[in-house]
Structure 1
Amino acid sequence: MSDIRSVRKRQQLNNLVAMVTEQARPGNTVVDFCSGTGHVGIVLAHTLPDCQVILIENKEESLVRAQRRGAELGLKNIGFIQANLDNFTGPFQIGVALHACGVATDMVMEHCIQAGAAFVISPCCYGFIQNAIKFSFPKSKRFQETLTNKEHMILCRFADQTAVQLRPDRRLIGKECMGLVDLDRSWAAEAHGYALQVMTMEPDSCSPKNNMLVGKPPPESGLEVDAGKQKAPVHN
């Protein structure tokens, strides 16, 4: 990893970890979906020693590297599960995903909503958003009243026009389209009683895909009341 990329990765992690730390309570289970080699999950386990952190990753090689890194740091509050994210069924209080590509963001959000869990998600690869068995787009009623499915897909493709090599005016359009796609996602989650924030990572230069979706479940989900009573199964 180059020095520039390393700095940007640390900045991305700082943003996500700050949001998770703000919501986490002792005894919580935090799930890092699509965890890769553990950049996010390992930092969370170190930062939140009173929480259980579970890394979910379907690629064996990536998970093995994450396990090795966790062992080298002597982390005791971390677990690893090789599975597709939608196959994880254990209870948890906070879901996290850094640069969940395309519909993976929507899958993580749905998983968290079904569990009544908070979430901190950084979307990526908007152009890969496609209709799936579980989802139809746009997702929210207000966007469905405004955009057709075809128009929404065009919006997603424009949302990927944020690379630093592009002209500033094109990047601005891409950023605005990112915001609209994530606003649709937010309104869909709010229909389930969630409080949503669409935030921008700081500094803006840390990533062309620098949006964060921060969702807090409705009070009746019992997140804080039952947080210390539920723990997900862990495979060390």
Structure 2
Amino acid sequence: MSSDRALRKQQQLNNLVSMVTKLSKPGDVIVDFCSGGGHVGIVLAHMLPSCQVVLIENKELSLVRAKDRSDELGLHNIWFIQANLEYFKGTFNIGVALHACGVATDMVIEHCIEAHAAFVICPCCYGFIQNTVKFTFPRSHRFKEVLSYKEHMILCRFADQTAVQLPPERRLIGKHCMGLVDLDRAWAAEGGNYSVQVMSMEPESCSPKNNMVVGVPI
């Protein structure tokens, strides 16, 4: 990748790893959902040797790359599972996901709530959000009182309008819509006895999709 993209990726990782480090304690099991090549999980395993880190990814090639990188670093506190995230039923303390696309963010949050685990998630691909067998949108009761499903889908599509090539005023609208979609997610999780914050990764230039949703069980 280019040096600019590498810098932005590093900045994204710094945000997630810093937050997970603040939430973790020795002996915790941390799950990196939709782990891809393991950029987040490998850094966490290196930074938190007293924790166990599990990478969940459905693409075999991505996991092979992640394991090769892990072996090069000599990490012994990291495990790899090839599966769709909905099939993972293990117990854990913290769930993390970088740019989990569409409803994958909601699936990770649901997994964490079921496990009574904290979560640190950077959502992505808001325009792909749609009702599924398990999830309906809006997610929270407060949003359902004022938005129909069709209106929520329009909100999600506007939330994807954050590319740097777009005019600044259009990106600002997209950022505002991103915040609303993730506020809906936050309020839904709070209904499950969680304290949730929606914040921006720093610097904001690290990604057009720079929201970070952090939840801690109460």
TM-score by length of 1: 0.92
The Cα RMSD (Å) is 0.3
Deviation (angstroms), 1:53: 0.2
Deviation (angstroms), 1:43: 0.3
Matches of 2:64 and 2:143, distance apart in 1: 42
Corresponding residue number in structure 1 for 2:96: 96
Matches of 1:204 and 1:90, distance apart in 2: 34
Matches of 1:29 and 1:149, distance apart in 2: 36
Deviation (angstroms), 1:75: 0.3
Matches of 1:186 and 1:179, distance apart in 2: 10
Q: Secondary structure at the match of 2:138?
A: coil
Q: Secondary structure at the match of 1:170?
A: helix
Q: Secondary structure at the match of 1:177?
A: helix
Deviation (angstroms), 1:9: 0.1
Deviation (angstroms), 1:217: 0.7
Corresponding residue number in structure 2 for 1:164: 164
Q: Secondary structure at the match of 1:198?
A: strand
Q: Does 1:110 align with 2:113?
A: no
Corresponding residue number in structure 1 for 2:148: 148
Corresponding residue number in structure 1 for 2:120: 120
1:40-91 CA deviation, whole Å, 9 max, x = no partner? 0000000000000000000000000000100010001000000110111111
Corresponding residue number in structure 1 for 2:217: 217
Q: Secondary structure at the match of 1:10?
A: helix
Matches of 2:70 and 2:2, distance apart in 1: 22
Corresponding residue number in structure 2 for 1:205: 205
Deviation (angstroms), 1:134: 0.5
Structure with the bigger RCO (C-alpha within 8 Å, sep 6+) is 1
Matches of 1:204 and 1:84, distance apart in 2: 30
- Name the amino acid aligned to 2:82: Q
Map 1:3-18; keep pairs closer than 5 Å: 3-18=3-18
Give the number of aligned pairs. Answer: 218
Unaligned residue ranges in structure 1 (runs of 5+): 219-236
TM-score by length of 2: 1.00
Q: Secondary structure at the match of 2:130?
A: coil
Corresponding residue number in structure 2 for 1:71: 71
Matches of 1:133 and 1:111, distance apart in 2: 15
1:207-231 CA deviation, whole Å, 9 max, x = no partner? 000000000012xxxxxxxxxxxxx
Q: List structure 1 runs of 4+ shifted beyond 2 angstroms.
A: none
Matches of 1:215 and 1:115, distance apart in 2: 13
